[in-house]
Structure 1
Amino acid sequence: MATGEGGLRERKKRETRYALSQAAIRLTLERGWDNVSVEDIAAAANVSERTFRNYFANKAEAIVATHVERGRRTAEALRARPADEPLWDALVNAVVAQFEPPPGSDGTVPTGYPAALQRLLAEPAVQYEVFRAHATAQDDLTNAIATRTGTGTGTDPGDLYPQLVAAVVSAGLGTALTRWTQNPTGSIAPLLREVFDQIRAGLPAPR
């Protein structure tokens, strides 16, 4: 198989995963967790239930797959940043780019969305998958930081720096997401920049 064909196949798989994840999120926010089946999600994404099962074990995993994909894209974006860009500038730009609203969007949040999102995130199965997604995203980012800074593979237990930076980024992102979901109005990008500005400043004592 040609390299191009392999890359195209992988891209299509990622697109299918993302489409299923977006359908799962949209339907559960509209109808509620207990009123959405795997069959519903597959139909909304125009694929068979069998195709859904090829990608996900359950609907919670499908819902959180968007976060997993976002973490993967963040690591890829960091690798693509200019080599002479300071690390934290590159990190912040890579993270925020994944949360910028799509072109033409005014960032308006539909009525009822905040409450529906809170209910969805309170589901134990979703919370478990979010925990797993955070770990996966942190590992991907660790390796990207290690490559960028020349500090090893990121998997060496003796190589602390990339793991520590990735953990700090993950904590900052998690804090911003938690804060935003309490009142999800408009883009999360400004809040992300505020969080990382405080981290970069060394978290000085509040005035």
Structure 2
Amino acid sequence: MTDTTSEPELGLRERKKAATRQALHEAALRLAFEHGPERVTVEAIADEAGVSRRTFSNYFANKEEALFYGDLQRMRQLAGLVRERPASESPWAALCAAAERFYRGLGDLDPEWMSRNRMVRRHPSLAAAQVQTFAALEREMAAEVALRLGPADPLGLRSQLIAGTFLAVLRISLTVWLERRPEVGYWDLASEALVEAGRGFA
């Protein structure tokens, strides 16, 4: 049998899936902020996004996955940018260059929107899910660093230290930026912090 499905149609299908996944994520965040994460149900998220409960299950295993999807997606995009950096760059230089491209591409972050998301993520009922999500992100970033270090890091210790430090700098910079509301943009603050933190990895 000849496959009559064209590449453009496959692309459209994937875009629709991505849009549905994003709609569920945004619905989960919106409901969690309005009612508290502990009061949000999968059924409510599906209704808010205009899809069925079954459709929700095709994209996420639970509401926690839906809530943290944005963080996971952003870090996977960042890891992809690290992967594209020249092999001659040191791990820390590659991480910083990828982060600059990523955040410059995002443009100005909305402090109010970020604050609301942060309030939701800091809720006690989501603590375990948050730890699991960021542990997965750290492993993914450490794997990219390990490819650059190769045999020089046989146990993977240095890779994990570099990845953990890098992600901690981004997270702490965001916390300071949201709480202090400095005149500079988020990336300007984070890039300065990365320079300071990276002196030991140069």
TM-score range, shorter-chain basis? Answer: 0.7 to 0.9
Q: Which residue of 2 aligns with 1:148?
A: 148
Written as runs of structure 1 = structure 2, the 5 A alignment for 1:1-207 is: 16-33=20-37, 36-100=40-104, 102=106, 107-110=109-112, 114=115, 116-117=116-117, 119-151=119-151, 158-183=155-180, 187-202=185-200
Amino acid corresponding to residue 81 of structure 2 in structure 1: A
Provide the C-alpha distance between the structure 1 equivalents of 2:85 and 2:69, rounded to a whole number of angstroms: 24
Provide the C-alpha distance between the structure 1 equivalents of 2:171 and 2:178, rounded to a whole number of angstroms: 11
Deviation at 1:11, TM superposition (A): 7.1
Amino acid corresponding to residue 67 of structure 1 in structure 2: D
How many residue pairs were aligned?
194
Provide the C-alpha distance between the structure 1 equivalents of 2:134 and 2:84, rounded to a whole number of angstroms: 22
Deviation at 1:36, TM superposition (A): 4.1
Provide the C-alpha distance between the structure 2 equivalents of 1:41 and 1:149, rounded to a whole number of angstroms: 43
Determine if contact 2:64/2:126 at 8 Å carries over to the other structure.
Answer: yes
More off after superposition, 23-32 vs 71-80: 23-32
For the residue of structure 2 that corresponds to 1:66, the secondary structure is helix
Provide the C-alpha distance between the structure 2 equivalents of 1:119 and 1:27, rounded to a whole number of angstroms: 13
Q: Identity of paired residues, percent?
A: 33
Q: CA RMSD in A?
A: 3.6
Q: Deviations over 1:52-98 (max 9, x none)?
A: 12332332321112111222222111001223334322201223444
Determine if contact 1:63/1:126 at 8 Å carries over to the other structure.
Answer: no
Provide the C-alpha distance between the structure 2 equivalents of 1:85 and 1:35, rounded to a whole number of angstroms: 47
TM-score by length of 1: 0.72
Change in Cα spacing, 1:39 to 1:78, as seen in structure 2 (3 Å) is: same
Change in Cα spacing, 1:46 to 1:96, as seen in structure 2 (3 Å) is: farther
Determine if contact 2:42/2:53 at 8 Å carries over to the other structure.
Answer: yes
Change in Cα spacing, 1:10 to 1:161, as seen in structure 2 (3 Å) is: farther
Gaps in structure 1 of 5+ consecutive residues: none
For the residue of structure 1 that corresponds to 2:57, the secondary structure is helix
Change in Cα spacing, 1:33 to 1:99, as seen in structure 2 (3 Å) is: farther
Provide the C-alpha distance between the structure 2 equivalents of 1:182 and 1:149, rounded to a whole number of angstroms: 36
For the residue of structure 2 that corresponds to 1:150, the secondary structure is helix
Q: Deviations over 1:146-193 (max 9, x none)?
A: 1233348x8x6x232222211221222232233234356885222221
Change in Cα spacing, 1:79 to 1:127, as seen in structure 2 (3 Å) is: same
Provide the C-alpha distance between the structure 2 equivalents of 1:97 and 1:47, rounded to a whole number of angstroms: 35
Q: Which has the higher helix share?
A: 2
Amino acid corresponding to residue 144 of structure 1 in structure 2: E
Deviation at 1:32, TM superposition (A): 4.1
Deviation at 1:44, TM superposition (A): 3.8
